Amino acid sequence: MELVERFLKYVSIDTQSSEENEAQCPSTEKQWDLARYLKNELTELGLEEVELDEYGYVYATLPANTDKDVPVIGFIAHMDTSPDLSGKDVKPRIIRNYDGTDIILNAELDIRTTVEQFPELKHHIGEDLIVTDGTTLLGADDKAGIAEIVSAMEWLKANPQVEHGRIRIAFNPDEEIGNGAHRFNVEKFGCQWAYTMDGGEAGELEYENFNAASAKVTITGHNVHPGYAKGKMKNACMIASEFAQAMPQNERPETTDGYMGFFHLYAMQATVEEAKLTYIIRDHNAGMFQLRKQVLLDTAERFNGQYGTGTVEVELKDQYQNMLTRLQDKPHITEIARKAIEEACGHCHVVPIRGGTDGAQLSFMGLPCPNIFAGGLNFHGRNEFIPIQSMEKAMHTIINICKLTAQQ
């Protein structure tokens, strides 16, 4: 099966994960549909040790074709798509030889991807772009990564003249809700190191990510008939609004980039009686990360002093740490990736991850795991797209890593 055909098959399967069921793994039953499909596909391709475990993780092996003592390495991608937008009934379309103009995704609903809003389009003039119809996300995050890994394994199997060691691959559920690595069996995977194929623009290599936490802020109000509320009502809606405005306004995702951290308010539910604000907190620097968490706690304490003890409660939960601390003493892992990317793309651009990957958690579980581009852009929304040429470069990057590891 060709790379693009494989990718289009994967995106036709709805695998959206759910934060509402995060205690369950996978968090949604529909993720099993892709997991079972992949198990069958990998078996038909002739890979060995193909396994689908009780948590929805798929593992497989491409055996070594050399007698050299080559390190066992792995490639990982996640099966779920973001809860932010539906991944059901995705209707992909290929725009051949993109001309650099605005893309009409859906004329009837007047949904467009404009060059003004998404200037990265200019970097892909002349390429073939896969886009949506504007009513769903595409799912390149991270079904492109899966397609690239499977296609690379198929290529290596069909080209035995290319020497490589034992290659392990794994596909996991629930990355988008931060749980993708929680039940990953590192010992069974049996690799000295691995790479997640979960990055963005072609040529990018990432091995430094945010320290991350989530914060659930609960505000308790007191409802009284509005006609007689003076001096009695405590409106949780209004307090929630004040709380959001009290957080640093120039430290939000829409005002930061590069190594700048942020507070991101991404969900609100409110009545007069109760309001809930859900934040994520991010920073590359460990000290600043701790300070950010304290800022939120101090703001809550200040509001409790103003509106009464117990008005604002904060539940903080650390999610993952910066993988750089687990990779900086193993430069060969990133150097092999750098060379492989340069051979496939003509350049390698090392960038900090403004987010997290399963590799961040896996690195702290004993599996060093940088992140490599998968080629998609504008993840989690209706303007998501992926150039076919970027997918091909990612596939060849995987092949190059396997070759270089055997050579070294």
**C-alpha dihedral, 351 to 355 to 361 to 363, nearest 10°:** 0
Q: What confidence tens digit (pLDDT) does each residue in 162-175 have? A: 999 999 999 999 99
What is the rounded average pLDDT of the residues 247-267?
Answer: 95
Tell me what the pLDDT averaged over the chain comes to: 96
Is 80 among the residues known to form the active site? yes
Q: Which of 133, 148, 174, 175 is catalytic?
A: 175
What is the rounded average pLDDT of the residues 135-159?
Answer: 97
Question: Structure tokens of 234?
Answer: 């405590």
pLDDT-based confidence at 358, cuts 50/70/90? confident
What is the C-alpha separation between 203 and 347, in angstroms, rounded? 6
Domains of the chain: 3-208+322-407 (3.40.630.10), 211-320 (3.30.70.360)
What is the C-alpha separation between 240 and 271, in angstroms, rounded? 10
Question: Structure tokens of 401?
Answer: 């890593």
- Is it the case that residue 357 has pLDDT exceeding 80? no
pLDDT-based confidence at 287, cuts 50/70/90? very high
Q: Give me the DSSP letters along 236-287.
A: HHHHHHHHHHHS-TTSSGGG--TT--EEEEEEEEE-SSEEEEEEEEEESSHH
- Is it the case that residue 321 has pLDDT exceeding 90? no
Say if residues 232 and 407 touch (Cβ distance below 8 Å): no
Q: Give me the DSSP letters along 196-240.
A: EEEE-STTEEE--B-EEEEEEEEEE-B---GGG-TTT-B-HHHHH
- Angle, alpha carbons 280-145-372 (nearest 5°): 70
Q: Which of 80, 142, 204, 358 is catalytic?
A: 80
pLDDT-based confidence at 360, cuts 50/70/90? confident
Per-residue confidence (pLDDT) for residue 268, from 0 to 100: 96
Contacts of 315 (CB under 8 A, 6+ apart): 215, 216, 218
